[in-house]
Amino acid sequence: MADDRFHVYDTTLRDGAQQEGLNLSVADKLAVARHLDGLGVGFIEGGWPGANPKDTEFFRRAQTELDLKHAQLAAFGATRRAGVKAADDPLVAALRESGAPVVTLVAKSHDRHVELALRTTLQENLAMIRDTVSHLRAGGQRVFLDAEHFFDGYKSNPAYALEVLLTAAEAGADVIALCDTNGGMLPDELAEVVHAAVQTSARVGIHCHDDTGCAVANTLAAVKAGATHVQGCANGYGERSGNANLFTVVANLQLKRGFDLVPPQALADMTRIAHAITEVTNVTPNSHAPYVGTSAFAHKAGLHASAIKVDPNLYQHIDPAMVGNDMRMLVSDMAGRASVELKGRELGYELTPESTKTLVGRVKDLESKGYTFEAADASFELLLRDTVHGERKRHFEVESWRVIVERTKGGEVVSEATVKVHAKDERIVATGEGNGPVNALDRAVRLALEKLYPELAKLELVDYKVRILEGSHGTGAITRVLITSSDESGEWATVGVDENIIEASWQALEQAVTYGLLRSGREV
């Protein structure tokens, strides 16, 4: 179990799940919890049992299906309703019966919210806090309190906000997390309020939203002012602009401030964990995310590339390996010889000056036609192999393909693709159907090849991006397609360019399959 002197508290499954478009099943929540435990967070808030059936089920299943090594589960809920006893409130009972060792109670600390939203008296709000905290404590659960709208409340009525804090602490709450619920605070003013709260006898935590782009900065400022409990969400998920990104907070505190929050080997797995969670949430990862983004340590080559080659530390704030990331060089149209050489070495190829020169020429030529290799690492590697080894071995040759898009009588639009390929001395004709032409082509080509190359069954098309590029010198617009594919061990991206969107897609698809075969150990 983690050290109790400083808490890393994750609220992805409750507050993070408020993000628009984010929908987590109970199985998803269990999977995210396992990933967070792998990172070594101290607490995982699982949701609001009693108020939300899915969350009730999460806590029920967690008892048998989660084998947490580091983290403790926290159940989230409100203080009792006005005018009833905590012991008689069914929602409080659900928290008691959740099986979670920790309960985090949300309570109002802003006088106007008490009167206008809760529609009760300031005194009754304090009684609700006192009664609910001591009731749960008596039942053996640890209690934290989320003081909602604390900062705005402090501005409106500082004495009352602090009274809420003290009432909870005296009733037995271990931590009072000060919440910047509207996310409007800036670090300096927030730190002053945290400082005032820390002067009381209560243990103070911090919960920030990113509406001013300061959630992480505010969290760090609160820690500096004396908070010893930080809340945040994986990948900064959350409603509006999101919550404080827990990964950034942890990396900053551990690598820049010397806190010992998670095991170093777990921190070195953070990039993988951050991406694994995006697989579960099905939210496209932010490539520019601090520490864990695929671009976080990537340099647009050219100017700096020769210097980076001499000493990478001149151009990065930490060793990316500490968070499990790496310095992925982007091959761009500015790419000079040094960056191509470096990228080649990163991929495990020693390039001769002669082949470097050829490769730089080919990259520049293709980029002038609309190709991009910044995001299409797999296409770059295939190009590099062609340059180094000469024309690659073909595991399949395409004779032809054809796609039909049909709008049926019922108004449904369906696509059907037929591909004719030659592979291992066989001529194979296969047909695939899909909701779009590329989907149908993908199915058809894999159907054709899967019998001969069974590893292709694991290949999956995970992302498809289309961009229309302006034509030049009187030519029409051209289409660039980027396809991201995955197998069980990772992802790769390929690019195709043509005036025709389906031909561009086909090029990217063909390379995706070729690269998939290369990854599975086939020589290409």
Residues binding Zn ion (CB under 5 A): 15
- φ/ψ (deg, to 5) at 370: 115, -5
Strand order in the sheet with 490-498: 460-469, 478-487, 490-498
Question: Which lies closer to Zn ion via its Cβ, residue 45 or residue 131?
Answer: 45
**Residues 6 or more apart whose Cβ sits within 8 Å of residue 183:** 208, 209, 210, 211, 212, 215, 240, 241
**Could you tell me the smallest distance in angstroms from the CB atom of residue 214 to Zn ion?**
15
**Could you tell me the smallest distance in angstroms from the CB atom of residue 45 to Zn ion?**
10
C-alpha dihedral sign at 195, 200, 201, 203: negative
Q: Which residues of 471-488 are buried (b: 16+ CB within 10 A; e: fewer)?
A: eeeeeeebbbbbbbbbbe
CA 150 – CA 183 distance, rounded (Å): 11
**Could you tell me the smallest distance in angstroms from the CB atom of residue 16 to Zn ion?**
9
**Could you tell me the smallest distance in angstroms from the CB atom of residue 153 to Zn ion?**
14
**Residues 6 or more apart whose Cβ sits within 8 Å of residue 199:** none
**Could you tell me the smallest distance in angstroms from the CB atom of residue 180 to Zn ion?**
8
Nearest position to Zn ion, beta carbon = 15
**Could you tell me the smallest distance in angstroms from the CB atom of residue 212 to Zn ion?**
14
Question: Which lies closer to Zn ion via its Cβ, residue 151 or residue 380?
Answer: 151
**Could you tell me the smallest distance in angstroms from the CB atom of residue 159 to Zn ion?**
24
Question: Which lies closer to Zn ion via its Cβ, residue 15 or residue 269?
Answer: 15
CA 388 – CA 349 distance, rounded (Å): 9
Query: Backbone dihedral region of 346: left (phi > 0), alpha (psi from -120 to 50 degrees) or beta?
Result: alpha
- φ/ψ (deg, to 5) at 167: -60, -45
Question: Which lies closer to Zn ion via its Cβ, residue 16 or residue 516?
Answer: 16
Residue 113: in which H helix or E strand, if any? Answer: helix 111-113
Question: Which lies closer to Zn ion via its Cβ, residue 146 or residue 341?
Answer: 146
**Could you tell me the smallest distance in angstroms from the CB atom of residue 40 to Zn ion?**
23
Question: Which lies closer to Zn ion via its Cβ, residue 233 or residue 267?
Answer: 233
Question: Which lies closer to Zn ion via its Cβ, residue 128 or residue 208?
Answer: 208
Which amino acid is residue 17, in one-letter code? Answer: A
Question: Which lies closer to Zn ion via its Cβ, residue 15 or residue 374?
Answer: 15
Q: Please enumerate, as own/partner, the contacts of 52-57 that have beta carbons within 8 Å and a separation of 24 or more.
A: 54/25, 54/26, 54/29, 55/14, 56/94, 56/98, 57/26
